[in-house]
Amino acid sequence: MPTIGPAVVLSVLVGIFVASLYVLVRGRTLSRLPFVVGASILGAWAGDAVGGLAEVSVLSIGDFRLPAAVVGAVVGIALVELLSVLVAPRPEGPTPP
């Protein structure tokens, strides 16, 4: 039976926590919430991997690099927000002065 490594579980926890803080601060992101949470989780996982390559060892939980994971989660949320602004429908017609 395959085992799940602690990095995956901790990435999910960190990703959900950072996404929850973002929604608490920003609010009104219900339409993008699944994308924000998914990007935050994947960003935390990628941040941990990059932190491992950069040999970041500050505030590590075992092999999990917490600061790098938090930065990765924030970058993931920022990418979702950037894409939502770029893809958002623009109103047609003349713009008000």
Q: Is residue 55 part of a domain?
A: yes
Q: Is residue 93 part of a domain?
A: no
pTM of the model: 0.83
SS3 of residue 94 by DSSP: coil
- Run of H or E residues at 75: helix 66-87
User: What average pLDDT does the segment 63-92 reach?
Assistant: 88
Instruction: Answer whether 41's CB lies under 8 Å from 15's CB.
Output: yes
Q: How far apart are CA 68 and CA 58, in angstroms?
A: 9
Closest CA to 63 of 18, 15, 10: 10
Q: Is residue 49 part of a domain?
A: yes
Q: Which domain holds residue 26?
A: 12-86
Q: Is residue 94 part of a domain?
A: no
Q: Is residue 7 part of a domain?
A: no
Q: Is residue 78 part of a domain?
A: yes
Q: Is residue 25 part of a domain?
A: yes
Q: Is residue 71 part of a domain?
A: yes
pLDDT (0 to 100) of residue 60: 80
Instruction: Answer whether 11's CB lies under 8 Å from 69's CB.
Output: yes
Domain count, the chain: 1
Answer whether residue 51 shows pLDDT above 70. Answer: yes
